Structures are given as C-alpha cells and as structure tokens.
Structure 1
Amino acid sequence: MKSLIVIDYTNDFVAPDGALTCKEPGQAIEGRIGELIRDFLAEGDFVVMAVDAHKEQDPYHPETGLYPPHNIIGTSGRNLYGSIQGIYEEFEDTIYWMDKTRYSAFQGTDLALQLRARGISEIHLVGVCTDICVLHTAIEGFYHGFRVVIHEDAVASFNPVGHEWALGHFQHQLGMAVVKK
C-alpha cells in the first residue's frame, strides 16, 4: 500500500499575499497536486493533509524568529490553497487531516502509526517547501523505513537554489525516487 502526503499546501505558503509564500512556483503545482489526490483516492490509497499549525508569537517554538508569523491556528492562512481546499471538503471523510508543529510531518505526530496501521510501506510527498518541510519529512520517512517518492512536478519552494539542491539530495544521497508525470 502507498500514501500521498500533501505538505503545507496552504494560503500562507502559496497565495500571492501569503505570510511566507512560494508565490508562482507554489501556485503552478496546484493542478498536479489535485490530480494526484484524486488518483490516490480513486485507488483506495491513504491521503494525508499535513498542515503546519502555529500559535501566534509562541516564544517556545523554534521557528519563531526565523520566519514571519505563518499558519496561525484560526486564521485563513491555514486554509488549503485554491482548489485543494475544495477537494479536501469533498473528501473530508476520507482524507486524513493532521496538524504538525515542526518541519517534519512525522515529528510529534501520529503519522508513522497511521501509516503502519494501514500496512503502508511507500509514501509519496508533494507540497511546499521542497527544501524545508518536504525535505525533513522525506528524511524522517527514510529513517522510519518507508520507501519515499518525491513528485518533482508537485513540490515547490520560495528558494530556487534550495529546491534544486533538495531534489538532488533526495535522489543521490538518500536513494529516493524523484518522479514527474
């Protein structure tokens, strides 16, 4: 079995006026992410929305001070971007929503337990940012023993150099599959 994990595809990370937005690179992958969600659901696979969740001005969070406030609980910045919000609402009973408070979707969450309970051995990652949350989720998934697949045409970053570096790192240092449609 396999799972699709959609990482941080929210207004704050993707919308033109988002607090920490990838802008056009993030917006350009919307259609592909939607297509992958629908394909995985049609095949009966487990789809996860791993969504960054922050408290405003949390003095104990390691990202406070590194980035402007983003994905604040209770704000529209945490809504999924564009058509992905509608897809989630359509399949809300099937898609697993998971708040995360660190870069990795595994850190401090029940993601590994949810995947293991379903007999999943392969995870497919899409979303933003390639060189931050996608990277850390991929590495931790690798250490949990999952086969990790990165969809190059469905990840983006606000840092083009970091994006390209991460894609190479996935493939050459971690032996992950980096695929395109």
Structure 2
Amino acid sequence: MNPIQLDFQKTALVIIDLQKGITRIPGAQGVIDKVAPIVRLFREKGGFITFVNVDFLDGRDRLTPITDQPAASGTPSLPADWAEFVPELGVTQGDHIVTKRNWGAFFGTDLDLQLRRRGIDTIVLCGISTNIGVEMTAREAFQHGYNQIFLTDGMMSTSQDEHDATCKFIFPRIGRSRTSEQFLAEVAENAAN
C-alpha cells in the first residue's frame, strides 16, 4: 500500500450524490456518517471541497439508451428536495457545487477546469453509488491524470456485490483505497512527522 501524504492545497474532496433524493436508500446514513469527519478535516486544512449532485431540467434530458436493465420509464416527477445536499455535511458558500446530468462528474461540467485552476492533482472520492456515479467519476479522473484516494466505507451501492466488485477490480488499478478511519489515521501520522 502506498502511504498517503497529502498537500491539502493540491487535494480536493469530491463527494458524489449525497443528496436527499438518493440518500433515502437503506444504509446511506452510514455513508454520511463516514464522510462527515472527512469534510471537517478538509475544512480545517483549507482543502477544496466539491459537492456533486445529479439533477435534470425537466426529465427529458435524462439518458435513455436501449439497455438490458433500463431505468424507470417515462419522466416521473422527482421530490422537490431531490437534488438538495444532506444537511449533515454542512455545505457552505465557499464549496464548489457541480450538478451533473450523467453518471460522471466530469462530463459536461466545470469540475476539471476548477480543479486545474487551483493546482489540484489529487482527489479524495466518496459518495453513492460506488459502481455508478463514483466509479464513473473515478474513471474520468484517471483519464484526466488525477491521483485518487477512494474512501471505501464512505460509499455504497444498492448491493454489496456491486460495491465490492468496483472496490476489488477497478479502484486498485486507478488509485488507492482506504477506509475513512485509515485515511484519517494516515493523514494524522504524516502531519506528526
């Protein structure tokens, strides 16, 4: 395992889809509880925090390719608070907000531009769903040349198998994986040295 040594001026915390409409699923509160201390750490260290949500203008802008496992048909109306970030993470005016219309946070957004202009070369990634929004964003970040750290207990999927497959087969090829506790311990250890 490569040790984590962070320069918080060159590191961004990117939080995927921890929004009210998605975190209603069972188990999501556990993810929020793991991510909250990481948000506090980044605030203390002056790190760049990006909150990513997914939302649609009118429902007609959703992807609808033919697939073996299609999403719900039609354009059902979403709850009014669907895209609002969960209050436990305390989004502030200084945080960068990205609204994506697809799975990944880079395509069609200003995420790469905002990271590069700040000299960011490392992303700490967490959120829901491990094998969809988080994995797609991780693949995009890899293609853009970013170093990545995945908080494996700060994310989840609708099934443990989906989460485990991404953590076992994808993440080791494109970054470093840690639990939130491991991450916090390594950061504290390196700060003490």
> TM-score by structure 1 length?
0.84
Report the secondary structure of 1:113's partner residue.
helix
Q: Tell whether the 8 Å contact from 1:71 to 1:78 is kept in structure 2 after alignment.
A: no
RMSD of the alignment, in Å? 2.1
**Residue in structure 2 matched with residue 52 of structure 1 by the alignment:** 54
What per-residue deviation string (whole Å, max 9, x for no partner) do you get for residues 119-146 of structure 1?
A: 0000011110000000000000000000
Report % sequence identity: 22
Q: Which residue is equivalent to 2:16?
A: 7
Q: Using a 3 Å threshold, how does the CA distance of structure 1 residues 96 and 129 change in structure 2: closer, same or farther?
A: same
* 8 Å contact from structure 1 (residues 29, 155) kept in 2: yes
- Structure 1 equivalent of residue 36 of structure 2: 34
1:67 aligns with 2:75: no
Distance 2:84 2:46 in 1: 25
* Count of residue correspondences: 166
In structure 2, the partner of 1:76 is 81
Aligned to 2:98: 98
Query: Is 2:170 aligned against 1:170?
Result: yes
Instruction: Letter of the 1:10 partner, please give it.
Output: Q
Residue 7 (structure 1) shift: 0.3
Distance 1:135 1:64 in 2: 19
Q: How does 1:103-118 map to 2 (within 5 A)?
A: 103-118=103-118
One-letter identity of the residue aligned with 1:130: T
Letter paired with 2:154:
A
2:137 matched to 1:137?
Answer: yes
> So what's the TM-score if we normalise by structure 2?
0.79
Q: Compute the displacement of 1:80 (Å).
A: 1.7
Unpaired segments of 5 or more residues in structure 1?
16-20
